[in-house]
C-alpha cells in the first residue's frame, strides 16, 4: 500500500508521462540509424546466413580497429553510421537518404494517403 502511495506521489510530482516521453525521445535519437534507399529488386539480404548485428560488429572490429568489447558496447545508431560511412569512403555506393529527401518523401506519402480517403 505504501509503495502505491509513493508511486502515485512521484508520478504526479515529476509528471511521469512527460518524463517517459523525454526518455523515449532520447532513446529514439540516440539509436537513430540512417535511412537507406531500398531496391525494388528482390533483396539478397540474409543469403549469407550471418545476422546483421554480427556483420556490423565484425565491420567495426576489422575496418575501424574496435576491440570486441568496444564494438559490442557501441550504440547501434553510431555503429551503423560508422560502418556505412566507412563503406562509402572505401568506394561503396551511397544509398543513404538525406534528411531533406526523407521529409519530402514523408510529405508525399501523407498527401497520397489523403487522396485515398
Q: 92 lies in a domain?
A: yes
By the 10 Å C-beta count (0-12 exposed, 13-18 middle, 19+ buried), 32 is classed as: middle
Residue 10 scores a pLDDT above 70: no
Q: 77 lies in a domain?
A: yes
Top pLDDT among 40 and 98 is at: 98
Both 62 and 104 in a single domain? yes
Both 3 and 60 in a single domain? no
Q: 42 lies in a domain?
A: no
Structural domains in the chain (count)? 2
Q: 52 lies in a domain?
A: yes
Q: Kindly state the cell numbers that stand for 75.
A: 550504440
Top pLDDT among 31 and 74 is at: 74
Q: Which domain holds residue 72?
A: 48-117
Q: 41 lies in a domain?
A: no
Both 62 and 117 in a single domain? yes
Sequence-distant (6+) residues with CB within 8 A of 86 are 59, 63, 64
* pLDDT in the model for residue 60: 94
Q: 37 lies in a domain?
A: no
**What are the pLDDT digits (tens) for 29-39?**
777 888 777 76
pTM over 0.85: no
> Bridge partners of 73?
none
Both 107 and 53 in a single domain? yes
Residue 62 scores a pLDDT above 60: yes
DSSP letters of 47-109? SS---HHHHHHHHHHHHS---HHHHHHS-HHHHHHHHHHHHHHTTPPP-BPPHHHHHHHHHHH
Which of the four pLDDT bands, split at 50, 70 and 90, describes residue 53?
A: confident
**DSSP state letter for 44:** -
Q: 24 lies in a domain?
A: yes
Q: 99 lies in a domain?
A: yes
Both 25 and 75 in a single domain? no
CB atoms within 10 A of CB 80: 19
Amino acid at each position: 500500500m505504501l509503495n502505491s502511495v509513493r508511486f502515485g506521489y512521484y508520478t504526479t510530482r515529476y509528471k511521469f508521462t512527460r518524463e517517459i516521453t523525454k526518455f523515449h525521445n532520447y532513446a529514439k535519437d540516440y539509436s537513430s540509424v540512417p535511412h537507406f534507399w531500398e531496391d525494388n529488386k528482390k533483396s539478397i539480404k540474409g543469403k549469407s546466413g550471418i545476422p546483421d548485428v554480427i556483420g556490423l560488429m565484425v565491420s567495426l572490429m576489422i575496418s575501424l580497429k574496435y576491440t570486441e568489447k568496444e564494438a559490442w558496447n557501441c550504440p547501434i545508431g553510431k555503429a551503423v553510421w560508422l560502418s556505412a560511412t566507412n563503406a562509402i569512403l572505401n568506394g561503396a555506393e551511397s544509398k543513404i537518404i538525406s534528411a531533406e529527401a526523407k521529409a519530402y518523401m514523408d510529405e508525399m506519402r501523407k498527401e497520397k494517403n489523403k487522396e485515398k480517403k
